[in-house]
Amino acid sequence: MWGLRAFLKPYWKFALLGPLFMLFEVFFDLLQPMLAARIVNFGVVERDFTYIEHTGFMMVAVALLSLLTGVACNFFASRASQNFGADIREALFKKIQTFSFENMDAFQSGSLITRMTNDVVQVQNLMQTLLQGLVRAPGLLIGSVVMALLINQKLGLILLGTLVLLVVVLVLLIRFSAPLFMGVQAKLDAVNTRMQENLAGIRVVKAFDRSDFETKRFTKVNRDYTEISIKAARYIALNLPIVTIIMNTCLVIILLYGGNLVWMKSVQVGDLVAFVNYVVQVLSSLIMVSGLLMGLSQSNVSAKRILEVLNTQPRIETAMQNSVASVPAQHVKFENVAFSYSGSADSKELVLRDINLEAEQGETVAIIGATGAGKSTLVQLIPRLYDATSGSIRMDGQDIRELPLLELRRQIGMILQESFLFTGTIRDNIAFGKSDATQEEIEVAAKIAQAHDFISRLSDGYDTVLGQKGVNLSGGQKQRISIARALLIKPPILIMDDSTSALDLGTEKLLQHALRDLMKNSITFLIAQRITSVIEAEKILVIEEGAIVGSGAHDELMSSCEVYMDIYRSQFGQQEVPDVQQQFS
C-alpha cells in the first residue's frame, strides 16, 4: 500500500481532516463510561436525581458530538478514498495504453481487467477503512486501556494480559492467511480470462455446439476460485469468534474479581461499570484492529499487483522528440529483418527471417502466402506494434526506432485483419483517427470504402449506433467502415491486412479502383489470400515459413515462383493468366 501513497497526495486535506474528526469522535466515546460511572457513584448511590439529570444531558450532548464528528470523518474519508481509487484506475488505463503487444501478451487482458476493477476496489476500500479506523481502532484501544488502568491497576493487568494473548493469535492468523490472498487474485484472473474469452468467441461456441464443453471449462476455474476463496475466508471467519471468546472470558474474570473488590469496598460500583464499558470498547476496537490487519494483508496483495502494472516498462519505447519523421514518408526499407515473439534469435523460434524489401511512394506492395506464413507479423513491424528482433526497418533512410512513436504512427493508416468497431455511432467510428473531420470528409472516405450506400440505407444513417464490436453489422460492412476509418486520415503509408476478405469480388474491384487515385502518392502494403486481390500490384511478395521466396509482378511470379504458381492453381485450376487479369480489370 505504501507504494501507492502518491495517489493520495492530491487529497491530503481530506486524508488529514478525516482522521482528525475521528480523533474527536474517539475522545467523546471515551468520555461516556466516565460519565456513566459518575451517574452511578454520585447520582444513583447518593440518590441525587438532579445530578443524574444534568449528567444524563451531558451524555446526550457528548453522543451528538460523537455522531457529528463521525459523519464528518466519513465524508472526508470517502472523498479521499474514492478519488484515490479513481486516480489509480486512470493511471492503470493510461499505462496500459503505452504497452506494446508484447506487454499485453505477458499480462493477458483478463488479468488486467481484474487489476483495474477488483484490485483497485480492494485498495480503495482499505483506504476508506484506514482513514476511519486507523485512528478510531488504535485510539479507542489505547484510550480504553489507559482509562481502565487509571480506574484500577489490578483489573487493568488482567486486561493487558488478555491483549498480549490476542496479539499472538492475530499474528498467527495473518501469517497463514496472507499467502492465500495472492492465490485468490490469481484464480480470479483465470475466471475473468475464461469469461472474456468465451464472450468474445460466443459465435464460435454456438456454431460448434460447444456450450457444454465451455461450461465445464468455466466450472473448473470457477470451482478453483471458490475453493481458495473459502480457504481464505476460513481464516477471516476465525478472527471474530476467537477475539470474542478471549475478550468475553476476560470480561467474566474481571466481573468475578471486580465484584469481589466491590464487595470488599476496594472499588466503587460506578468504577466497575465504567471499567466493564472500557473492556467492551476494547473488544470492539480489537475487532476493528483485527479486521484492519486482515484487510491490510489482503489489500497488500492487490497493491502489489497494481504496482506491477504501473512499474512495467513498455517493451517498445519511443525515441527522443528531437527526431523528426519525414512528411510524407516516401520510402520504406527492410534490411535483414528477423523476428520472434519471444525475442530470441534462435532460428527455431523465428517467425520472420532475412526479410529484405523496399517500397517507394506511389507503389503498392502486395504480400501473399499461406496462413501462418508471417504476413501480418511483417506489416505489424512497420508501426512498431512489435520490434524486429534483428535487422532494421528504415523510413526515408532513418531507423524507425529512432523516430518518436507518435510521429511514426501518424504516418501510417492500418486496417487490421479483425475489423474492430467501438460502441458509438458510425460517424464516430469512421472519424476515430480524426475527431475533427467534417461530415463531407467522412462521406468521401465512406464512398471510397464502398460503405456510403449501405450506411445511407440505414434508418439513422451515419448516426446509427453500433453495438459492442459492431454486432449489428455484417462482416463485410464492418470491414468497409474499418477501411473508411483508415482512409479518412489520408496516410502516407497504408497497410491493409487481409481487410477485404469479407468483400465480394465486385465490391473489392470498385474499392481498389477508388484507392488508385486516393493513394497514388502513398505507399500501400496489401496483404491478401486471393490472387485477384494482388494481381495488379506493382510488386508482389510471396512469403513462406517467414521468408520471402518470390518477388515481382504477377507475370514474373507465374514463370519464376513455384509457391506463387501453387497458390494460383489452388484458386483457379488451369485457367489462363490473361483471363483472370481481364476478369478483374
Helix (H, G, I), strand (E, B) or coil at 353: strand
Q: What is the pLDDT at residue 207?
A: 65
Phi-psi region of 525 (alpha: psi -120 to 50; beta: other; left: phi over 0): beta
pLDDT at 569 over 70: yes
Q: What is the pLDDT at residue 30?
A: 78
Q: Which amino acid is at 263?
A: W
For residue 331, give the C-alpha cell. 520510402
Nearest to 341 by CA among 311, 297, 303, 385: 385
Q: What is the pLDDT at residue 575?
A: 53
pLDDT at 578 over 70: no
Q: What is the DSSP letter of 318?
A: P
Q: Which residues contact 205 (CB under 8 A, 6 or more apart)?
A: 198, 211, 214
Kindly state the percentage of the chain with pLDDT values over 70.
92
The whole-model pTM stands at 0.68
Distance CA 353, CA 360 (A): 22
pLDDT band at 398 (very low <50, low <70, confident <90, very high): confident
Q: What is the pLDDT at residue 584?
A: 44
Helix or strand holding residue 336 (H, E): strand 331-339
- Cis check for the bond before 328: say yes or no (omega within 30 of 0): yes
Q: What is the pLDDT at residue 204?
A: 67
CA 351 from chain centre, in angstroms, equals 29
Q: Which of 263-272, 359-368, 523-532 has the lowest mean pLDDT?
A: 263-272
- Going 372 to 374 to 380 to 384, the CA torsion angle's sign is positive
- Where do we find the cell 501513497? 5
4 and 307 Cβ atoms separated by less than 8 Å: yes
Q: Which residues on adjacent β-strands are paired with residue 339?
A: 352
pLDDT band at 248 (very low <50, low <70, confident <90, very high): confident
pLDDT band at 189 (very low <50, low <70, confident <90, very high): confident
Q: Which of 164-173, 404-413, 435-444 has the lowest mean pLDDT?
A: 164-173
Residue range 54-78: mean pLDDT, rounded: 87
Residue 198, judged by CB atoms within 10 A of its CB (0-12, 13-18, 19+), counts as middle
- How far is residue 356 from each of residues 16, 283, 342, measured CA to CA in Å? 62, 75, 21
DSSP string over 240-251:
HHHHHHHHHHHH
- For the stretch 87-105, pLDDT in tens is 998 898 888 888 877 777 7
pLDDT band at 474 (very low <50, low <70, confident <90, very high): confident
- Cis check for the bond before 138: say yes or no (omega within 30 of 0): no
Q: What is the pLDDT at residue 583?
A: 45
User: In this structure, how many other beta carbons lie within 10 angstroms of the beta carbon of residue 532?
Assistant: 18
For residue 332, give the C-alpha cell. 520504406
Distance CA 494, CA 529 (A): 18
Q: What is the DSSP letter of 4?
A: G
Residue range 252-271: mean pLDDT, rounded: 77
Residue range 505-530: mean pLDDT, rounded: 81
Nearest to 484 by CA among 434, 410, 537: 434
204 vs 434, which has greater pLDDT?
434
Nearest to 362 by CA among 523, 575, 171: 523
Q: What is the pLDDT at residue 581?
A: 47
pLDDT at 347 over 60: yes
Residue range 109-128: mean pLDDT, rounded: 82
DSSP string over 24-40:
HHHHHHHHHHHHHHHII
Residue range 298-325: mean pLDDT, rounded: 74
Q: Which of 181-185, 202-206, 273-277 has the lowest mean pLDDT?
A: 202-206
- In the chain, % helix, strand, coil (3-state, to 5) comes to 65, 10, 20
Distance CA 57, CA 69 (A): 18
pLDDT band at 203 (very low <50, low <70, confident <90, very high): low
Q: Strands across the sheet with 412-415, in order? A: 412-415, 493-497, 523-528, 364-369, 539-544, 547-552
Distance CA 449, CA 443 (A): 10
Q: Which amino acid is at 385?
A: L
- For the stretch 363-380, pLDDT in tens is 888 898 888 888 888 988
Distance CA 132, CA 15 (A): 10
DSSP string over 96-124:
HHT--HHHHHHH-HHHHHHIIIIIHHHHH
Alpha helix segments (H runs only) across 322-404:
375-380
144 and 281 Cβ atoms separated by less than 8 Å: yes
Q: What is the pLDDT at residue 327?
A: 60
pLDDT at 538 over 60: yes
Mean pLDDT, all residues of the chain: 81
Phi-psi region of 343 (alpha: psi -120 to 50; beta: other; left: phi over 0): left
Residue range 342-352: mean pLDDT, rounded: 79
pLDDT at 33 over 50: yes
Distance CA 310, CA 422 (A): 26
pLDDT band at 580 (very low <50, low <70, confident <90, very high): very low
Q: What is the DSSP letter of 402?
A: G
Distance CA 144, CA 27 (A): 10
For residue 475, give the C-alpha cell. 462482416
pLDDT at 528 over 50: yes
Q: What is the pLDDT at residue 294?
A: 67
Nearest to 180 by CA among 124, 234, 119: 234
369 and 542 Cβ atoms separated by less than 8 Å: yes
Terminal Cα-to-Cα distance of the chain (whole angstroms): 66
- For the stretch 128-160, pLDDT in tens is 888 877 777 777 778 878 877 887 787 778 888
Beta strands 352-360 and 331-339: pairing type? antiparallel
pLDDT at 579 over 50: no
pLDDT at 325 over 60: no
Q: Which residues on adjacent β-strands are paired with residue 394?
A: 333, 399
pLDDT band at 107 (very low <50, low <70, confident <90, very high): confident
Q: Which domains, from first to last, does the chain contain?
A: 10-178+237-310 (1.20.1560.10), 331-411+492-584 (3.40.50.300), 418-490 (3.40.50.300)
Distance CA 28, CA 12 (A): 25
Distance CA 120, CA 514 (A): 49
pLDDT at 417 over 70: yes
Length of the chain: 585
pLDDT at 232 over 80: no
- How far is residue 376 from each of residues 307, 364, 415, 522, 550, measured CA to CA in Å? 33, 16, 11, 20, 17
- How far is residue 46 from each of residues 42, 51, 52, 100, 409, measured CA to CA in Å? 5, 9, 10, 80, 88
pLDDT at 321 over 70: no
